[in-house]
Structure 1
Amino acid sequence: MFITPLIAAPMAGGTTTAELALATHGAGAFAFAAGGYKSAGQLATHLAPLRAAGIDFGVNLFVPRTSPPTASESAALAAYRTELSETAGRYGAEVPDLVLAEDDPRVQDYWAEKLDLLLADPVAMVSFTFGLAPVRIVAQLQKAGTQVVASVTSVAEARAAVETGVDALLVQHSSAGGHTAAFLPGAGAADTATLPELVAAVRAAVTLPLVGAGGIASAADVKAVLAAGAEAAAIGTALIRTAESGARPLHKDALADPLYTRTAMTRAFTGKPARALVNEFVRDHSESAPHAYPEVHFLTAPLRAAASAAQDPRALNLWAGSGWKSAQSGPAADVIKEFLQGL
């Protein structure tokens, strides 16, 4: 299924550019485009250079939630909005009001429109995160000639994903940078198992091809994942500092800044657990941030944009996996080649 053991993971929010996907593909990795936070039109524009190049590539989509926030979650969200106002004021930003209907395309991350796009003009592979795509959607994509990958973080999630008929699983460890893919209660939480141990546990439970992801910083890490039973390994944080990455310069610089000494899982930026470098915002707001995605994402977006404009990383979401110290600057092709040569 995977003609290369190395996958360039999709990083939403602008980090994965078409240039990054093309560069990693050209160096020998399988590249994924990031469909999250894009409308169907924006995704079509993002994919155009990849389609023009005539290469096989994947697209990652966020699975929207199936129910609105509870009353208690809504109350916690309102309290969090008040809490954020002081931090926002530091940057001259305003925390927006929360008036988003459940069927708002932004809440659904333009789910239906993007599926229509990918069914009308299929790609080689589509992966899903934050949940499982319905069996009907999986079958439709496969009928169109697309292989389907589900992202899982535990054996229980892997077994549930198999029941939807997907072709492969991406097994994400809690050491991965950015959002956890967990969708079952208790899954994806910090644990003592290593990524190879998690892959081995999933390998023992299912027969589908596996991709291991989370904290991969070297060829030795890839080898360990392959030895545990995966067909490939995915890297993300290792590519953030590269020239083709669309990450903010502040983000790239922070990954090389010795002032940052650890990462942590936090809901402070989006309402969904995600691993980031620990900065002032993480320290101040992690305990109070509610489980409310994507509402918290929309609350903090203007604040983060203002902090970026002010060149102040203290309030930015500096996503980073546990192996962030190994992330290199320079051409993305050099990073991919170093990994592959090490294999």
Structure 2
Amino acid sequence: MLTSSRDSAARRIAVDAMGGDLGPAEVVAAVKLALAQQPALNPVVLVGDEAQLTPLLAQASLPIDGQRLSLHHAPEVITMDDKPVLALRRKKNSSMLRAIELVKDGAASVVVSCGNTGALMAGGTLRLRTMQGIARPALAAVVPRAGGSFVLIDAGANPEARPEHLLHNAILGSHYCRVRLGQATPRIGLMSIGTEEGKGNALTTEAHALLRAAHAQGILNYAGPIEGFQVFAAEEPVDVVVCDGFVGNIMLKSWESLVKFFTSTIKAELRANPLRMAGAIMAKGAFAALKSRIDPDRHSGAPLLGLRGNILKAHGSSKRLAICAAICAAGEIISAEMNQHIEADVQRAASVLSTPLSPQ
């Protein structure tokens, strides 16, 4: 079936070239990697200052052909030190805001940015708005566990959630898990302090009832409440961990800091004496495999889900491999038509929210 030029444009990936800590050169290198690795990747729109990007593209031998790659001029930059709302008001020609506007106007489908998180979240929410039926967007993150990975949602977008928000988080996380992790029917767990009925606070208790009802209607594959020690376990693992943004952000940052602690501790212990150093050399392959498994660059790009458009946030310090992974993830989201499937399930879940739930 033939598609219109507008339909083709809407499937583009808008990449904010200016927002990251490492500058536009690293973003240009990432775009080159992504286009080379994925010949069928959606067209990329590089958004930023032409005066800086044009020579970088020439140095990278990356032609602006208007088909696979185009350039959208945006002379201003929202820095990491800018206050989000103030920056959105004062820097209307920033690369970040222009990239979001491309999605709003239907000229692109996904924004990829390494820029100021607060500005990206605020700009995306204010400009794109949430899907019908969803009150609050949620930030998702892919985290490794024994035998694979899981999606953590919400990782920090909505710290003061209500039970219906957690139901929507489960729908959002389930669809993102299908796209990014290839799980056809993701098992969903609700983060709590116990698995018994009645454990947890009012939020988790009411959310548990909603998730159970959605499971009964075939909307979700809900496995029940889980505790902290189950999150990374191999036995009966869940694919999506649902929580509010307050808990999720603490979980994510604690995991990241724990990985750094163990990495630095292992390095220090292995360098303690020559015998250990010799053993480390012999186990070099095992350490490389471990690093690869827990490397956050493998699943770079945390999406802000639930908007009328897609936003992928990469770390501000992301290098080209991480940015490349985020761009490729954006292509997967577009190809899977993820938002259309989310909207359908949100509408199905409306009946769960409108039906009084009896405690069991």
Q: So what's the TM-score if we normalise by structure 1?
A: 0.30
Larger Rg: 2
Q: So what's the TM-score if we normalise by structure 2?
A: 0.29
- Could you say which structure has the greater relative contact order, defined with CA pairs below 8 angstroms and 6 or more residues apart? 2
